[in-house]
């Protein structure tokens, strides 16, 4: 199987027999701290885990010929893979504000029975009016020994790389108990057997499908994209918030849009995506209730986002579109919600 994955362009590296962790380094690499990219073992041994991953058929044959019981790890970044690792661990369910980072879950939403990444991902899909990714039969799906599920996707050509994350992270995460395996991480390939059991491909495709646009937008929204470069300080005067047209709806939007614009003063670390998401979600709810026109909302959101982050127009639009659609499913009235 390792040779098969390598022949399809997926860099592989050995996992210690019976485990899902990389095979151990040589004696020198175990005791000497050094940059994996400059290691003398590179191209010869499997030291440093996914940093040693290769598609070289001769090297793959040599490694697994030496130890046939090696498991197979695949370095996601070089392979262009984005894998959603849905966990089903026994753990206390966090507060609803921590289930879907950046998305407020109204107290009226019944969360009874929610206990795993399957549930939080289903909730995210429902809020975005999308099918549950776990049911996606167009891509490679791998059942894990613990009852979890790996959903394999490939990054669309020309897309910016995405980074790995843990579903329990307080900073960058897609959903509770949903890990992301991408740049900076690896995934266990199907056919690998550990002491816990077999990683088994489910019936269907044996290769990953393109990452759905809505999931790409969600990963971008939650900070999985590349770290933006510092933006030079602005010398132009910051415009005032466009005056509200006398409606309660625009008065509600005005402070949210102003928070988005204020991010222009801080190139990074201003929670820009979260603020834009909140403004667009609210705008969607107000538009759905008929209190403000769709075109007016789009114009206000786009103007605020482009002022704060003009170097990322496409990302801005993805966040706006995704959050606005989600907001439209929750109509908002100035004096209360429907």
Please compute the mean of the pLDDT values over residues 297-319 and round it to a whole number.
83
Of residues 126 and 298, which shows the higher confidence score?
A: 126
Q: Tell me if 284 sits within 8 A of 290, measured CB to CB.
A: no
Asked if the structure places residue 22 within a domain, the reply is yes
Q: Which of the residue ranges 20-24, 38-42, 169-173, 275-279 would you say has the lowest mean pLDDT? A: 169-173
Tell me which range, 48-52, 72-76, 98-102, 328-332, is most confidently predicted by mean pLDDT.
Answer: 72-76
pLDDT tens, position by position, 82-123? 999 999 988 889 889 889 998 988 888 889 999 999 999 999
Give the per-residue pLDDT at 243: 44
Angle at which helix 213-221 crosses helix 272-288, to 10 degrees, equals 120
232 has pLDDT over 50: no
State whether 102 and 123 are in the same domain.
yes
State whether 180 and 203 are in the same domain.
yes
Q: Nearest to residue 212, comparing CAs of 284, 138, 262?
A: 138
Asked if the structure places residue 242 within a domain, the reply is no
Q: Give the position of tokens 């995460």.
A: 173
State whether 274 and 312 are in the same domain.
yes
233 has pLDDT over 80: no
Q: Tell me if 35 sits within 8 A of 80, measured CB to CB.
A: no
State whether 257 and 325 are in the same domain.
yes
Asked if the structure places residue 216 within a domain, the reply is no
Q: Which of the residue ranges 72-86, 117-131, 155-169, 256-270 would you say has the lowest mean pLDDT? A: 256-270
Beta strands in 76-183 (DSSP E): 81-86, 141-143, 149-154, 178-181
Asked if the structure places residue 232 within a domain, the reply is no
Beta strands in the chain (DSSP E): 12-15, 71-75, 81-86, 141-143, 149-154, 178-181, 186-188, 193-194, 197-198, 200-201, 209-210, 332-333, 336-337
pTM summary value? 0.67
Asked if the structure places residue 239 within a domain, the reply is no
State whether 87 and 60 are in the same domain.
no
Q: Where does the pLDDT of residue 247 fall: very low under 50, low under 70, confident under 90, or very high at 90 and above?
A: low
Residue 24 CB partners (closer than 8 Å, separation 6+):
16, 30
Count Cβ atoms below 10 Å from residue 137 Cβ, excluding itself. Answer: 10
Asked if the structure places residue 238 within a domain, the reply is no
State whether 188 and 114 are in the same domain.
yes
State whether 157 and 103 are in the same domain.
yes
Asked if the structure places residue 94 within a domain, the reply is yes
State whether 284 and 198 are in the same domain.
no
Of residues 123 and 252, which shows the higher confidence score?
A: 123
Asked if the structure places residue 229 within a domain, the reply is no
State whether 188 and 274 are in the same domain.
no
Give the per-residue pLDDT at 268: 62
pLDDT tens, position by position, 177-209? 999 999 999 999 999 999 999 999 999 999 999
Give the per-residue pLDDT at 45: 92
Residue 122 belongs to domain with CATH number: 3.30.2250
Q: Which of the residue ranges 41-50, 188-197, 213-222, 311-320 would you say has the lowest mean pLDDT? A: 311-320
Q: Tell me if 291 sits within 8 A of 247, measured CB to CB.
A: yes
Residue 90 CB partners (closer than 8 Å, separation 6+):
none
Give the per-residue pLDDT at 153: 98
Tokens representing residue 230 in the block:
């510092």
Which range of residues forms the domain containing residue 296? 248-337
Give the per-residue pLDDT at 119: 96
Query: d(Cα 158, Cα 210) in Å, to the nearest integer?
Result: 12
State whether 125 and 85 are in the same domain.
yes
State whether 268 and 190 are in the same domain.
no
Total domains in the fold of the chain: 3
Residue 22 CB partners (closer than 8 Å, separation 6+):
13, 14, 15, 16, 46, 48, 49, 50, 73, 186
State whether 36 and 88 are in the same domain.
no
């Amino acid at each position: 199987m390792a040779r098969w994955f390598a022949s399809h362009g997926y860099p592989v590296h050995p996992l210690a027999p019976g485990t899902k962790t990389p095979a151990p380094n040589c004696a020198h690499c175990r005791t000497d701290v050094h940059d994996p990219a400059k290691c003398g073992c590179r191209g010869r041994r499997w030291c440093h885990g996914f940093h040693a991953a290769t598609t070289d058929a001769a090297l793959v044959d040599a490694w697994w010929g030496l130890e046939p019981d090696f498991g197979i790890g695949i370095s996601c970044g070089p392979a262009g893979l984005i894998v959603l690792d849905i966990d089903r661990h026994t753990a206390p369910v966090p507060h609803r504000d921590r289930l879907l980072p950046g998305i407020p879950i109204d107290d009226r939403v019944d969360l009874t029975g929610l206990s795993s990444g399957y549930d939080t991902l289903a909730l995210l899909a429902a809020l975005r009016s999308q099918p549950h990714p776990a049911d996606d039969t167009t891509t490679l799906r791998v059942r894990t020994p613990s009852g979890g599920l790996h959903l394999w996707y490939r990054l669309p050509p020309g897309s910016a790389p995405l980074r790995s994350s843990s579903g329990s992270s307080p900073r960058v995460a897609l959903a509770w108990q949903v890990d992301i395996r991408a740049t900076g991480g690896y995934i266990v390939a199907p056919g690998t057997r550990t002491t816990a059991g077999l990683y088994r491909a489910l019936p269907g495709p044996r290769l990953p499908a393109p990452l759905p646009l809505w999931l790409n937008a969600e990963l971008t929204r939650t900070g999985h994209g590349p770290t933006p470069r510092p933006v030079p300080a602005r010398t132009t005067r910051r415009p005032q918030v466009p005056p509200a047209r006398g409606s309660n709806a625009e008065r509600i939007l005005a402070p949210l849009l102003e928070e988005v614009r204020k991010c222009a003063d801080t190139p990074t670390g201003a929670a820009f995506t979260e603020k834009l998401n909140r403004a667009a979600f609210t705008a969607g709810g107000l538009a759905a209730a008929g209190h403000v026109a769709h075109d007016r909302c789009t114009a206000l959101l786009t103007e605020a986002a482009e002022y704060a982050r003009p170097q990322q127009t496409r990302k801005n639009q993805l966040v706006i579109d995704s959050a606005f659609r989600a907001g439209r499913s929750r109509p908002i009235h100035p004096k209360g919600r429907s």
